[in-house]
Structure formats: structure tokens, C-alpha cells
Amino acid sequence: MAQILNPDTTSGAARRSAFEIRMDILRVAAEGCTKPTLIMYQSNTSWIVLRKNLEALIAAGFMIESVVGSRTAYSITDRGVGVLRAYRNLVYLTSS
């Protein structure tokens, strides 16, 4: 009950929102990671969570999927770079 009334006293780390997870995936892709497994590790997500969020980011036009043979690669689009830049700016402005 105390945690409901005073959320600052929670033990452990706070969970990331779906939006924060998607921004982490975009960040990793912007840093040059294209392989899905590396994106999963560097964005600290599970495979299921990564797939769901990649689908949403692709549908929104923030990332593209390229399949060559049996390899799948993901890259961030110009629109995704713009969203990531706006997010970083918002985080910077609200942390000051």
C-alpha cells in the first residue's frame, strides 16, 4: 500500500514504457546495429518484445526491414532519426 501512495519508495528499477523501449530500439539502430539479435541485446529486450516493437516501428515508417537470403537486417529511416532526435531533445529539456 505504501508503494501506491508514495511511488518514489519502490524497490528495484522502474519498468520502461513501450514508448521508451521503442526509443531504445531506434537508438540502437541509429548507432549502426542492423542484426536483430544484437538489437535485442543492446536494447535490453526479449525476442518477443523486440519483434512486436519492430513491427510497430516498421508500420509507423521509423524503421525498414531488409531480407537478403536468410539474413534479416533492420535500419532506421530518416523519419525515425527525426523522432529519435525529438525524443532526445525532450529528455534533455525535461531533465534540466
- The 10s digit of each residue's pLDDT in 22-79 is 999 999 999 999 999 999 999 999 999 999 999 999 999 999 999 999 999 999 999 9
Q: For residues 30 and 58, is the Cβ–Cβ distance under 8 A?
A: no
Confidence of residue 13 (pLDDT cuts 50, 70, 90): confident
- pLDDT of the residue at 7: 46
Between CA 58 and CA 93 the distance in angstroms is 28
- pLDDT of the residue at 2: 42
- pLDDT of the residue at 59: 98
Please state the pTM of the whole predicted model: 0.83
Bridge partners of residue 74, in order along the sequence: 65
Cell of 40: 535485442
Kind and range of the H or E run holding 31: none
Domains of the chain: 16-95 (1.10.10.10)
**65 to each of 11, 49, 54, 69, 75, how far by Cα in Å?**
38, 17, 9, 13, 7
